[in-house]
Chains A and B, each alone.
Chain A
Amino acid sequence: MNVSDLVQRAELAVKAGAGGLDAEVTGGYASDLLSAVMANAVEGNVWVTWHAHPNIVAVALLVKLSAIILVAGRQPEDETAEKAEQEGVPILVSSLPAFELVGRLHAMGVAGAT
């Protein structure tokens, strides 16, 4: 499954970084501690978070995440969207709260490390 499959199936809005929509999704990681994401997320994971701060793009690049999904209709800050656009890191927005979104992603076959 690639990011654009996920966008369609999970009804996500693409807010920036459409250039990265072809990337393969290897699994998922959810956390609002960016330090935890840097330590534990795996290359190709989608990252589910509440954070809209520009640092999320840098973290995504560092870990080579396939996409960032903001929950509960959170919108990326302008600077975040600009950076993501430049770097081709997809920022996707779900209207669902985190727990519900993660449940649906998991049901689609996007799993976390165990």
Chain B
Amino acid sequence: MKTFWADLHVHTCLSPCGDDRMRPRAMVQQAKQKGLDLIAVCDHNASGNVEAVRQAGRGEGLAVIGGIEVTSEEEVHVLALFDEQQGLRDMQRLIDESLSGENNPDLFGEQLLCDERDAIVGQDTRLLIGATALRVEIVVDSIHHLGGLAIASHVDRESFSILSQLGFVPENLAIDAVEVSPRRSVAQVYAQRPELKAYPAVRSSDAHTLEQIGAVRTGFTAAAPSVRELHRALLGEGGRAVMN
């Protein structure tokens, strides 16, 4: 067992709102400088840069989890984290089938695909800033069905969070954790919304620029820097634990 320091929510230059410098090598370097062992790459409705960041991380000893920040029909953001490439691919397919529109880079920003050496290899032309036609319960159930972990993004934010969009966490929504943004502490959020204590919490940067990576982090003590082990740590299984 070891303690892993993780930033479980970082964007890349694939997200329209992600900084142009959010490219694999640069991100990995920044994460290492901040003392992180693990990052999860979660672009809006997309996963096209996950492999490049993972490869960049491999040489540097940084574990990279593949994820997607899914936008539900109600415009709730949910992080979908996967150990298996197949799970991530299938989740992406589901999103692709239920997301419509084409990006306008002048209005929303460019959506750059990179290789592991930070070179641009293409653009994603879909309207990634848009909402899928998937209701939030379907998003969460699909993530679980495909073997992933579902975390409600930035629950303390006034937009695009489960609380802003739907007022409270629906009873039958099986999220594995809630994410607190850098602006608040977990204790503050639990104090403000005691019903959230029913869910374990993580604190992540939601970085859109290099400087933001690792601005806050979550530590978890487990056997490996994986989604499965993170899940067990969230549940407190077998001596595993999460620290915020």
Range class of the A interface residue count:
10 to 19
Contacting residues, chain B, for A51 (C-beta < 8 A): 74, 166
**B170 and A35 contacting across the interface, CB-CB below 8 Å:** no
A58 at the interface (CB under 8 A from B): yes
With both chains docked as a complex, state the minimum distance between the C-beta of A53 and any C-beta of chain B, in angstroms: 6
Contact A33 B170 (CB under 8 A): no
**Looking at the complex, which one of B74, B158, B159 makes contact with A53 (CB distance below 8 Å)?**
B74
**Chain B interface residue count, Cβ-Cβ cutoff 8 angstroms:** 13
Interface of A is mostly: helix
Of the candidates B75, B158, B159, B167, which one forms a contact with A55 in the assembled complex, judged by CB atoms under 8 Å apart? B167
Query: B127-158 toward A: CB 8 Å interface, digit per residue (1/0)?
Result: 00000000110000000000000000000001
B166 cross-chain contacts in A, Cβ below 8 A:
34, 51, 53, 55
Docked CA distance A32–B165 (Å): 7
- Judge if A37 is at the interface, Cβ distance under 8 Å: yes
* A33→B159 CA distance, assembly (Å): 8
**Apart from A32-B165, A33-B158, A53-B170, what are 14 other A-B pairs with CB-CB below 8 Å?**
A32-B75, A33-B164, A33-B165, A34-B167, A34-B168, A35-B163, A35-B164, A37-B167, A53-B74, A53-B135, A53-B166, A55-B166, A58-B168, A59-B167
Please provide the 4 A-B residue pairs with the shortest distance between their CB atoms, ordered closest to farther: A34-B167, A55-B166, A35-B164, A59-B167
